[in-house]
Homo-oligomer: A and B are copies of this chain.
Amino acid sequence: MTRSAHRIAFGQRLRDLRQEHDWASQEAFAHHVGLDRTYVSGLERGTRNPTLDVLVKLAHGLDVTPSELLSTVK
Protein backbone atom coordinates (compact mmCIF):
# COMPACT_ATOMS: atom_id res chain seq x y z
CA MET A 1 0.00 0.00 0.00
CA THR A 2 1.49 3.28 -1.11
CA ARG A 3 1.97 6.18 1.25
CA SER A 4 2.24 9.57 -0.41
CA ALA A 5 2.59 13.08 1.01
CA HIS A 6 -1.09 13.91 0.57
CA ARG A 7 -2.26 10.63 2.11
CA ILE A 8 0.04 11.14 5.09
CA ALA A 9 -1.18 14.75 5.57
CA PHE A 10 -4.77 13.54 5.36
CA GLY A 11 -4.15 10.73 7.85
CA GLN A 12 -2.58 13.07 10.37
CA ARG A 13 -5.46 15.52 9.97
CA LEU A 14 -7.98 12.73 10.50
CA ARG A 15 -6.20 11.57 13.64
CA ASP A 16 -6.00 15.13 15.01
CA LEU A 17 -9.69 15.79 14.36
CA ARG A 18 -10.73 12.44 15.84
CA GLN A 19 -8.80 13.17 19.04
CA GLU A 20 -9.97 16.82 19.22
CA HIS A 21 -13.53 15.58 18.94
CA ASP A 22 -13.02 13.25 21.88
CA TRP A 23 -13.02 9.97 20.02
CA ALA A 24 -10.16 8.54 22.02
CA SER A 25 -10.14 5.17 20.28
CA GLN A 26 -10.08 4.40 16.57
CA GLU A 27 -12.51 1.59 17.30
CA ALA A 28 -15.21 3.80 18.84
CA PHE A 29 -14.87 6.33 16.04
CA ALA A 30 -14.91 3.63 13.36
CA HIS A 31 -18.13 2.23 14.80
CA HIS A 32 -19.61 5.75 14.94
CA VAL A 33 -19.01 6.32 11.21
CA GLY A 34 -19.76 2.76 10.10
CA LEU A 35 -16.26 1.83 8.96
CA ASP A 36 -13.92 -0.95 10.01
CA ARG A 37 -11.31 -0.14 12.66
CA THR A 38 -8.48 -1.51 10.53
CA TYR A 39 -9.61 0.73 7.67
CA VAL A 40 -9.61 3.83 9.90
CA SER A 41 -6.17 2.80 11.15
CA GLY A 42 -4.93 2.56 7.56
CA LEU A 43 -6.39 5.98 6.76
CA GLU A 44 -4.61 7.55 9.73
CA ARG A 45 -1.32 5.92 8.74
CA GLY A 46 -1.69 7.22 5.19
CA THR A 47 -1.81 3.82 3.53
CA ARG A 48 -5.40 4.00 2.27
CA ASN A 49 -6.97 6.05 -0.49
CA PRO A 50 -10.48 7.07 0.64
CA THR A 51 -13.22 7.89 -1.85
CA LEU A 52 -15.35 11.02 -1.80
CA ASP A 53 -18.19 9.00 -0.25
CA VAL A 54 -15.88 7.95 2.62
CA LEU A 55 -14.52 11.49 3.06
CA VAL A 56 -18.08 12.79 3.42
CA LYS A 57 -18.91 10.04 5.92
CA LEU A 58 -15.80 10.85 7.99
CA ALA A 59 -16.49 14.60 7.89
CA HIS A 60 -20.08 14.14 9.04
CA GLY A 61 -18.90 11.87 11.86
CA LEU A 62 -16.49 14.59 12.99
CA ASP A 63 -18.91 17.52 12.56
CA VAL A 64 -16.66 19.25 10.06
CA THR A 65 -17.10 19.91 6.36
CA PRO A 66 -15.30 17.72 3.80
CA SER A 67 -13.33 20.87 2.89
CA GLU A 68 -12.17 21.26 6.50
CA LEU A 69 -11.21 17.60 6.61
CA LEU A 70 -8.80 18.24 3.71
CA SER A 71 -7.51 21.59 4.99
CA THR A 72 -3.90 20.40 5.39
CA VAL A 73 -3.75 18.35 2.17
CA LYS A 74 -1.72 19.88 -0.65
Q: Which residue numbers of A lie inside 8 Å of B, CB to CB? A: 4, 6-7, 10, 49-53, 55-56, 65-68, 70-71, 73-74
Contacts and interface: CB of A to CB of B under 8 A. Distances in A.
Copies of this chain held together in the complex: 2
A50 B70 CA distance: 14
Contact of A52 (B49, B71, B74): B49
Contact of A51 (B51, B56, B67, B68): B51
Contacts of A68: 67
The interface centre, meaning the residue of A49, A52, A65, A71 with most chain B CB atoms within 10 A of its CB, is A52
Contact of A55 (B4, B52, B53, B65): B52
A60 to B, nearest CB: 9
